[in-house]
Structure 1
Amino acid sequence: IGAQLGIGTRACQAEGLRDGNVAQNPENCDLYARVLPEDKHRIVVALQQAGHVTGMTGDGVNDAPALRQAELGIAVASATDVAKAAAGVVLTDPGLGGVLTVVRAGREVHRRMLTYTLNKTLKVFEITVFLTLGLVLTGRFLVSPLLIVLMLFANDFVTMSIATDRVRPTPAPQHWDVRRLVAAAAGFASLSLVFSLEFYFIARGAWGLDGHQSQTLAFLILVFTNQAGIYALRTNASLWSLAPSRWMAMTSIADLAIVSLLAGLGVLMAWLPWSLIVLLLASSVVFSVVLDAAKRPLFKHFAIA
């Protein structure tokens, strides 16, 4: 039966689990025979101890411990109330076809959360170091309190649209590793910081900007690089390989248009020449390509996505 289903032919008896022999190497078994209710929980634990992400389906009261223990416990439509309460997901249609939908939806949500976490951590690093270095090097704050508030609205407006983004689910399950995520975000933030500081000081000198105009420039840099980071990190492949969702594209365009108009017309901030705004926008697009190229080796090094 295992061969016909494509599961495998290595069958083991559940007695080995109780003796602690097979639990050390659960990969040695494709099937378990003579399984008692408590053995289901032991199988899940053994697989987890071996580093696997486990899923468990069941319908009876005796399945409840294993359903609770597994990362993804799935109760079928005809399951008892106890099994449904223990499971993380309850199928509403007969059969197991809904499992594929559950796994795909879960991995899509995980990818969106990964994009949000990486980008949010990146921006915390970049903004903090950018403003601190700017204060040390120039002796004044690079962004006024009003522009800080506007920047928070502008950046969060686009960041929230990640929840609607079109994503590709990963082919294999993943675990969260905060240290790896923070380390990768710090690497991306370093690249973004180099671009931001370099453009700021070069443009300020080339256009002869005064203090208030320099604050507007810093504001636009931090808003535009936020967009570059979101689009570069939203997929494992090239940034142009997957189109964003309609809502994400619309919020990005609206965000860029509003902050550019405010800066160009001098509303709520000192005005900037339109030539400088266009140059910054074009440079941010180029920077997103650079960030996209650096993404692949960093993702591989830190085993992300």
Structure 2
Amino acid sequence: MTGDGVNDAPALKKANVGIAVHGCTDAARSAADIVLLAPGLSTIVDGITTSRAIFQRMRSYALYRITSTVHFLMFFFCITLIEDWQMSAILLILIALLNDAATLVIAVDNAKISQKPDKWRLGQLITLSLVLGTLLTAASFAHYYIAKDVFHFDSEKIATVMYLHISSCPHFVIFSTRLSGYFWENIPSITFIIAVLGTQVFAMLISIYGLLTPKIGWGWGVTIICISLGYFVFLDFVKVQLFRYWSFELTAKLWPSKTRRTKLQDRKAYAINHARIVGNISKVRKVVIMSRVLLAFKKKSSTKAIEV
């Protein structure tokens, strides 16, 4: 409901979304949910577009943050219990700082605007975060044991390898969590790209030249970055497939609740009723077609009889 006068105030108050247009009275302004500060109704479209972009950025941040947290906690908790190995505090602080620097630029990202109204799908969000976090943890264990058992690195050099891996592999995932499709379907902003890649260059230089930790050289540094890029493409494919085959029924099974079960039953009943209606319409259509065919044959037979 849109309005600008005193007589519109009751309707604006009762409407689901009351919009007071530019130059409205104080009564309409106080009763409305949204007040337009520019003339015309095109501002409503701008408001919807901006709000959907904000929602996409919030969703991207939540998915990336939960994924990186699951990966970080799961790996360090398990590796501490299994191998009694720890990373130095300075490297952990650097990982946290670079992680925060990468997530801050989500606010200026080129978000993809949804064509339909958005809503939080927490079951889908948590499940996808757990899947991506678990796969990242598996990659971290692979890096650790390859450096330890295959190349026989000491504990400090392993810390350098793991620092570069943890600073690069999860950070590249932020390009995937931006949207539900493949990462190349929407190009991020220049500021976003520079900030994320800048953190990778900083972490790689520290690891290669050993500024705060034993150096591993260009060979290992470039190899770890390339592996992180390849693994990022694999995780993006997993994300797309999960989004593609996800359904509300799967959400209700994985994260059951009374509300979801009731909603699922209502959807199934609606689907059955809709299928029945479609089937009845199809039967009626077939009967009508057959009636027309029989009528045409009958008319043709009558014409031949008259000619004879």
TM-score by length of 2: 0.74
Aligned to 1:45: none
2:183 aligns to what SS in structure 1? Answer: coil
2:19 aligns to what SS in structure 1? Answer: strand
Aligned to 2:138: 194
Please give the residue correspondences for 1:56-95 in structure 2 after superposition, counting only pairs within 5 Å. 56-59=1-4, 60-66=8-14, 69-70=16-17, 73-95=18-40
Matched, 1:266 2:214: no
Aligned to 1:168: 112
Deviation at residue 278 of structure 1 after TM alignment:
0.7
Deviation at residue 131 of structure 1 after TM alignment:
0.2
Aligned residues of 1:228 and 1:287 also touching (Cα < 8 A): no
What letter matches 1:62 in structure 2? P
Return the alpha-carbon distance in structure 1 between the equivalents of residues 83 and 117 of structure 2: 47
Aligned to 1:47: none
Return the alpha-carbon distance in structure 1 between the equivalents of residues 184 and 167 of structure 2: 21
Aligned residues of 1:61 and 1:80 also touching (Cα < 8 A): no
Aligned residues of 1:184 and 1:302 also touching (Cα < 8 A): no
TM-score by length of 1: 0.75
2:39 aligns to what SS in structure 1? Answer: coil
Aligned to 2:226: 282
Return the alpha-carbon distance in structure 1 between the equivalents of residues 158 and 193 of structure 2: 29
Match of 2:151 among 191, 199, 207: 207
Deviations 1:143-194 (A, max 9, x none): 2211111111011101111111112111111222334322221111112112
Matched, 1:151 2:99: no
Aligned residues of 1:216 and 1:272 also touching (Cα < 8 A): yes
Return the alpha-carbon distance in structure 1 between the equivalents of residues 27 and 137 of structure 2: 53
Q: Which structure's CA Rg is the greater one?
A: 2
Return the alpha-carbon distance in structure 2 between the equivalents of residues 122 and 195 of structure 1: 14
What letter matches 1:154 in structure 2? L
What letter matches 2:83 in structure 1? T
Matched, 1:256 2:204: no
What letter matches 1:131 in structure 2? F
Return the alpha-carbon distance in structure 2 between the equivalents of residues 237 and 180 of structure 1: 15
Return the alpha-carbon distance in structure 2 between the equivalents of residues 84 and 274 of structure 1: 63
- Whose helix fraction is larger, Structure 1's or Structure 2's? 2
Return the alpha-carbon distance in structure 2 between the equivalents of residues 154 and 236 of structure 1: 24
RMSD: 2.0
1:204 aligns to what SS in structure 2? Answer: helix
C-alpha change, 1:126 and 1:302, in structure 2 (3 Å) is farther
2:211 aligns to what SS in structure 1? Answer: coil
Deviation at residue 119 of structure 1 after TM alignment:
0.3
Deviation at residue 266 of structure 1 after TM alignment:
0.9
C-alpha change, 1:77 and 1:139, in structure 2 (3 Å) is same
- Structure 1: which 5+ runs fail to align? 1-55
Return the alpha-carbon distance in structure 2 between the equivalents of residues 204 and 270 of structure 1: 15
Return the alpha-carbon distance in structure 2 between the equivalents of residues 104 and 87 of structure 1: 20
Match of 2:74 among 129, 136, 147: 129
Return the alpha-carbon distance in structure 2 between the equivalents of residues 128 and 280 of structure 1: 21
- Structure 2: which 5+ runs fail to align? 252-308
C-alpha change, 1:218 and 1:302, in structure 2 (3 Å) is farther
C-alpha change, 1:84 and 1:177, in structure 2 (3 Å) is farther
Aligned residues of 2:109 and 2:188 also touching (Cα < 8 A): yes
Return the alpha-carbon distance in structure 2 between the equivalents of residues 88 and 223 of structure 1: 44
Deviations 1:110-158 (A, max 9, x none): 11111100000001110000001111221122x2211111111011101
Return the alpha-carbon distance in structure 1 between the equivalents of residues 146 and 67 of structure 2: 23
Aligned residues: 245
Return the alpha-carbon distance in structure 2 between the equivalents of residues 270 and 154 of structure 1: 19
Deviations 1:246-275 (A, max 9, x none): 111111221111111111111122222321
